[in-house]
Amino acid sequence: MKRYIMLKRPSKFFSLIGTIMLVFFLPACEQKETDLGKEVLIRVADRVMTVLDFNNAFEIAKIAYENNIKEQPEDLKKAQIRLLNQLTVEMILLERAKELGISITEAELEKAVSAIKSDYPAGEFEKTLLEFAVSYDSWRDRLRNRLILEKVIEEELKNRITITPEDISQYYQKNYQGRQEESGAAQTSDDINEAIVKQLRRQKAEETYNSWVEDLKGQYEIEINRVQWEKITGSKSIEENDTTVSDVSKSD
């Protein structure tokens, strides 16, 4: 378990927070490099994110931490590295979406909006947006981008996942055989088969995701401004055991 990742609010809340975070950095990605000068922190192809955007996103990300990480310098640094990697990968995926021509329809967007808002008591959703000074229209636009990211992942990984009868049989023997009688559950064979396929697909997607991202990293020019990064963290290091961005260079 990561010492510094302790969720203390419902997952639906973080769906909202995640799209709020995108409000901070995605607009910067659409600006030109000449408008941003040396304040650029991350560059993926022609897409950039500024130091200010990163700091704003990090303030939002800290909501997910149970303890006050400001009092734990090492955990603070790890959290900053985690966010740097997360945002960089999202920038890569947005570039990939542009190449693939992936978009979200209005119907898909409205369905996602309704699903998120339905989890909040009346007025609470709007109150949360107001708390972070984010307009509803901006949040809605950034939710569209989050859905695009999800669609890219689904589109790219589905052709890499193969589930064989042997996979299903092995999973059944390991996780179901003999346990159904003990629990008294009355699942049909079709129900069990469907559940196994879902679990296997999820597992294989997770296993495939990292190698897929590594492949994508090799397709784009990725730069991290080490000078600005050192100012943010007090360290030049951006390495972590599970880092998703390792091939970086100094941007002048």
- Give the model's pLDDT for residue 9: 36
Identify which of 26-30, 128-132, 198-202 has the greatest average pLDDT. 198-202
Residue type (1 letter), 35: D
| pTM (global) more than 0.85 | no
Helices (H) and strands (E) in the chain, counts: 11, 3
Give the Cβ contact number of residue 160 at 10 Å. 13
Please tell me which of 20-24, 36-40, 74-78, 180-184 the model is most confident about, judged by mean pLDDT. 74-78
Q: How confident is the model at residue 36 (pLDDT cuts 50, 70, 90)?
A: very low
Q: Pull the structure tokens for residue 189.
A: 């064979």
Phi, psi (rounded to 5 degrees) for 138: -65, -45
Multiple choice CATH, 1-159+221-252, 3.90.550.10, 1.10.4030.10, 3.30.450.40, 3.30.70.270: 1.10.4030.10
Look up residue 236 and give its DSSP letter.
Answer: S
Say how far apart CA 161 and CA 165 lie, in whole Å. Answer: 13
Does residue 248 come out as left (phi exceeding 0), alpha (psi in the -120 to 50 range) or beta? beta
Q: What is the pLDDT of residues 105-147, one digit of tens each?
A: 999 999 999 998 888 888 888 888 888 777 888 888 888 888 9
Which residues fall within 8 angstroms of residue 172, CB to CB, at 6 or more apart?
192, 196
Strands (E), the chain: 40-44, 47-50, 222-224
Statement: residue 66 has pLDDT above 50: yes
